[in-house]
Structure 1
Amino acid sequence: MNRPAAALPRLTTPVLAQVLERRVMGLVIGAAALVHLVLMRFDLPAWPCVVRSAVGIPCPGCGLSRALTALLHGQWRDALHLHAFAPVILGGLVLISGMALLPEAARRRGIEAVARFERRTGLTALLLVTLVGYWLTRLLFFRTAFIDSTR
């Protein structure tokens, strides 16, 4: 019976809070996302999917760049059709970038609040598991439509 109880703390370990702890990482993530989305917006060559290039199948995040671009243009239906996690990822990017820009005292309070929330709810772990499930569902049951939508 100890196994499930031992696994529970792992699910509620603050993942996002650990990313927020690293200000430089937050700035790099925000800048990289912004550059990538600007390249996509102007139909310029953007970074290709490493997983798809190496293995030949779309990764769990394939379609997110176009979905985020559609979302930023207010095209919610198109964004959700391309990738259901687009609003969640956009929220995460805004949170990570915004926290990196806050003064240290406010940033500290924000990180502590996020860590408490993650420990209490396990939401970040749940979202990551759900993302993998979403990817597998698309890959196994909607393969053709999924692969076509990521080209």
Structure 2
Amino acid sequence: MRFQLSSQKLSTQALQWRYFSLSCVSSPLVGAYLLGHTSASFGWKCLILSATGIPCPSCGMTRAFVEIARGNLRESLSYHGLGIGIFVGFLLLTIHLCIEILTRRYLSSSLHDWLFKHKIGLLGWFMIVLFGYHGIRLAVFFTTGELTLNQAFI
């Protein structure tokens, strides 16, 4: 894979967008580290799960990220099967944004160019994978008795 810093400098607006994006993308990583390595606890529960009894597509992702931060990859997979891939994606995007902010230049790579060119397709495929996984997960929960319709709609 080829990486290249552009000779073109980032505009002020582009730089501000990079800072905003960096804060959004790195927050789950920092939060997972803090929850995994301090005595802090995460007291929130999923609103969809609390209201309906049915887990949302991202239920378990926070616990998966915390386990990844602790180095427990197998445990992470038990919470959410897509957690490791999404964590790695956030990590790579954080590194990419940091390089652009520090150099104040656009960073491109063959992967970055391909993703930018196919961003709608990539988002569509991500949603298909996420909701496909969610459907399989709900079917397994229903089959094992962890989720029953009586529980879900009380």
Please confirm whether the aligned pair reaches a TM-score higher than 0.5, indicating the same fold: yes
TM-score, normalised relative to structure 2: 0.62
- Tell me which residue corresponds to 2:133: 134
Q: Quick check: which one's helix share is greater?
A: 1
- 1:26 deviates by 2.8
Q: Measured at CA, do residues 111 and 28 of structure 1 come closer, stay the same or move farther in structure 2, by a change above 3 Å?
A: farther
TM-score, normalised relative to structure 1: 0.63
- Tell me which residue corresponds to 2:41: 44
Contact 1:26 1:97 in 2 (8 A): yes
- Tell me which residue corresponds to 1:116: 114
- Tell me which residue corresponds to 1:18: none
Contact 1:40 1:46 in 2 (8 A): no
Runs of 4+ in 1 over 4 A off after TM superposition: 104-107, 120-124, 144-147
Q: Measured at CA, do residues 45 and 81 of structure 1 come closer, stay the same or move farther in structure 2, by a change above 3 Å?
A: closer
- Tell me which residue corresponds to 2:25: 29
Listed one character per residue, the Cα deviations across residues 67-119 of structure 1 (whole Å, up to 9, x for unaligned) are 12222222222111221111111112112322332235676223884242364
Letter in structure 2 aligned against 1:126: W
Q: CA RMSD in A?
A: 3.3
Aligned residues: 127
Q: Measured at CA, do residues 94 and 106 of structure 1 come closer, stay the same or move farther in structure 2, by a change above 3 Å?
A: farther
Give me the whole-angstrom Cα distance separating, in 2, the residues matched to 1:39 and 1:51: 22
Greater CA radius of gyration, 1 or 2? 2
Listed one character per residue, the Cα deviations across residues 112-147 of structure 1 (whole Å, up to 9, x for unaligned) are 842423646945532321111111111123235766
Letter in structure 1 aligned against 2:24: V
Give me the whole-angstrom Cα distance separating, in 1, the residues matched to 2:95 and 2:27: 11
Match of 1:92 among 89, 98, 105: 89
Contact 2:29 2:65 in 1 (8 A): no
Structure 1: gaps spanning 5 or more residues: 1-20
Partner secondary structure for residue 45 of structure 1: coil
Give me the whole-angstrom Cα distance separating, in 2, the residues matched to 1:124 and 1:146: 30
Q: Measured at CA, do residues 138 and 30 of structure 1 come closer, stay the same or move farther in structure 2, by a change above 3 Å?
A: same
